[in-house]
Structure 1
Amino acid sequence: MADNEAFTYNGGKVEPGKTQDIRYGISETYLGDPVRIPVTIINGEQAGPTVFLSAAAHGDELNGIEVVREVAYEWDLSDLAGTLVCMPVLNVPGFLAQQRYLPIYDRDLNRSFPGSETSTGAKRMAHRIYQNFIEPCDFGIDFHTSTRGRTNMLHVRADMSDDAVARLAKAFGSHVIIDSSGSDGMLRTEAAKSGTPAITVEMGEAHRFQRELIDEALAGVESVFAEYGLRETSTVNWPGWRTVISDENEKTWLRADAGGIVDMHHDRGALVHEGDRICTITNPFKDDNVTVVAPFTGVLVGVLENPVVYPGNPICHLVELKDKVRRVVEREQSTSFETPG
């Protein structure tokens, strides 16, 4: 194979066969101290794709941090063909405050890409990240979790109308891919617009490491590396069943019609059939029960973790499974996902 080239960013260079850990300045605090994000660049000796792995664009979403760190520091990358740009914590101010948004500006970093060097503080931060570490890449994976109080099964969100993005999404090997172009300002959306295919991986809940999901995501990264030839030792993963949720599928967030305390009867990833009882909402005296049932047969991509709701609060994200996929899932999920009691 051909020799690799140096990876350059504003202020530095990483030669082939070298690894560099940097804290890259993207803004300043009220005291004029630098706001810096950790970046690890692993540049293989052999030529290949340049790939970014990013996490914690929302500061309280932690699962992806461990995925990116383990790839960078625990995997044997001596045979790497290409370059890895690993950014475990994009939103450092939010991470330090353990909150979703940038506390300095109260803005969503993941609605600020590709950024601007003359606009808001959030967009200036996004601009420095994007110009130096996203735009130079051939493709990338951005890791997220559900927001506080909810949890997601591991799944991919991707614009499947873009062939290059669809290839990446399928290579990751998740059971569920939700087909969406994404909102303006999202990292994956803006990267794809400028020619860097990118996907979002959703996994679990905020404020914690969940080992099972981290391991699933690591298997997905390994599968992607195999698909694009970054590591000879990796193999492409087929998840056993897969469904792409598009406009042809029913999908909905089921919301509470009553306030109270929620007793969930199914976990994330569970298959539920039309008419199945998903949860029961009760008052403190348990004398006024409101049952929430599945309006169609599908899989629970996301469910409530915080067991208290107001009317209108989201309870679960249900996506339809077509008959062929449903039968496969029924065979796989031969044991019930119902919680005791």
Structure 2
Amino acid sequence: MAASGDVFTFNGGKVEPGERQNFRYRISETYLGDPVRIPVTIINGERPGPTAFLSAASHGDELNGIEVVREVAHEWELSDLAGTLVCLPVLNVPGFIAQQRYLPIYDRDLNRSFPGDPESTSSKRMAHRIFTNFIEPCDVGIDFHTSTRGRTNMLHVRADMTDEEVHRLAMAFGSKVVIDSEPPDGTLRGEATNAGTPTITVEMGEAHRFQRDLIDDALAGVQSVFAEYGILESAAVRWPGWRTIVAGGTEKTWIRADGGGIVDMHASRGELVREGEQIATITNPFKADDVAIEAPFTGVLVGILENPVVYPGNPLCHLVELEPEVRRVLESRG
């Protein structure tokens, strides 16, 4: 871990207290031997404090988080910053250039390759360079994602809430929904946390676009985290109005299509739906043989289909149960 108020060092450079650096860091090479570089901004405050990283686009087509990280690094007033901020807006540069989820050519998931290995596959070598230089030195981290192509998510946090420091970070972000889950092996949030850097994943919206409302909500979450950890004195910890933690005993499900067809969704992401309520209809091209999809329990739609065509087994929506007190509050609002 980087000591508070110290120089931030990485392989090939350093950033002194009171200094900001924007640079492109080499993590690999192309077939022609040209460098593959990721953009990095490091702001080292004059006052001592924790070291935090913000990362996005480990999946190259997930764009919302890129704008969150860019705006924090280049539009926020950070003169009173306490500690160090490591901003990594595009981790998967080859995927971003190709506008693909995975690393093109290698067809590997960068977000299943951490902490990396300097003598293994291309993706693990890239992950190793990123992880050892810019993730391990940090005290906390937020990794931004969107849903995969054809689906969209309400803004929510994924975190291992059994870890006390991850729990603190997740609650500080102030999202309405926190999904308590152990991360798969190789994910940035899981491997960073295992290495001593508590990290959460923020899911928000859909691939291939900027969604201003979600970006603004995520920026408010970052500001809240900075307040919790004393990184910005001007910030304040936020309360989202209501919050539910989706833990192991909470009912949750991906509702899937039992037949192929064209989908008409009747509810939006983040919307409360009640047990038995029709949330979608699947029809054939002649608008005949309608199949009604009903909510199996009362809950909130964390994710929904955007592409309106399905095969049998395709996911339609991600429904999670609400804690009883949260459900009562939302139902009282109609």
Deviation, 1:105, is 0.7
| Structure-2 change in CA distance of 1:46 and 1:284 (3 Å) | same
Q: Distance in 1 between matches of 2:237 and 2:85?
A: 18
Q: Distance in 1 between matches of 2:33 and 2:105?
A: 13
CA contact (8 A) 1:3 1:45 kept: no
Corresponding residue of 1:338 = none
Corresponding residue of 1:121 = 122
Q: How is 1:244-255 mapped onto 2 (pairs within 5 angstroms)?
A: 244-255=245-256
CA contact (8 A) 1:93 1:104 kept: no
CA offsets 1:231-263 (integer angstroms, 9 cap, x no match)? 110000011111110111000000001111000
Deviation, 1:138, is 0.2
Q: Distance in 1 between matches of 2:248 and 2:163?
A: 16
Q: Equivalent residue of 2:178, what SS? A: strand
TM-score by length of 1: 0.96
Q: Distance in 2 between matches of 1:63 and 1:3?
A: 30
1:198 and 2:199 equivalent? yes
Corresponding residue of 2:145 = 144
Letter in 2 for 1:30: Y
CA offsets 1:2-29 (integer angstroms, 9 cap, x no match)? 9821100000000011100110000000
CA contact (8 A) 1:184 1:190 kept: yes
Q: Distance in 2 between matches of 1:92 and 1:322?
A: 40
Deviation, 1:330, is 2.5
Q: Equivalent residue of 2:141, what SS? A: strand
Q: How is 1:231-246 mapped onto 2 (pairs within 5 angstroms)?
A: 231-246=232-247
CA contact (8 A) 2:4 2:83 kept: no
Q: Distance in 2 between matches of 1:36 and 1:210?
A: 26
Q: Distance in 1 between matches of 2:118 and 2:225?
A: 33
How many residue pairs match? The answer is: 332
Q: Distance in 1 between matches of 2:309 and 2:259?
A: 10
Q: Distance in 2 between matches of 1:72 and 1:56?
A: 16
Corresponding residue of 1:7 = 8
Q: Distance in 2 between matches of 1:320 and 1:175?
A: 13
Q: Distance in 2 between matches of 1:238 and 1:148?
A: 31
Q: Distance in 1 between matches of 2:139 and 2:19?
A: 19
Q: Distance in 1 between matches of 2:295 and 2:272?
A: 10
Deviation, 1:67, is 0.1
Q: Distance in 1 between matches of 2:271 and 2:65?
A: 22
Corresponding residue of 1:293 = 294
Letter in 1 for 2:145: H
| Structure-2 change in CA distance of 1:285 and 1:5 (3 Å) | same
Q: How is 1:102-117 mapped onto 2 (pairs within 5 angstroms)?
A: 102-117=103-118
CA RMSD of aligned residues (A): 1.0
1:310 and 2:311 equivalent? yes
Letter in 2 for 1:209: F
Q: Distance in 1 between matches of 2:311 and 2:216?
A: 35
1:263 and 2:271 equivalent? no
Corresponding residue of 1:26 = 27
Runs of 4+ deviating beyond 4 Å: none
Deviation, 1:104, is 2.5
Q: Distance in 2 between matches of 1:52 and 1:26?
A: 18
CA offsets 1:121-151 (integer angstroms, 9 cap, x no match)? 0000000000000000001000000000000
Corresponding residue of 2:38 = 37
CA contact (8 A) 2:4 2:51 kept: no
Deviation, 1:328, is 1.4
1:134 and 2:113 equivalent? no
Corresponding residue of 2:172 = 171
Q: Distance in 1 between matches of 2:332 and 2:9?
A: 50
CA contact (8 A) 1:59 1:95 kept: yes
Deviation, 1:331, is 3.7
Corresponding residue of 1:327 = 328
Letter in 2 for 1:53: L
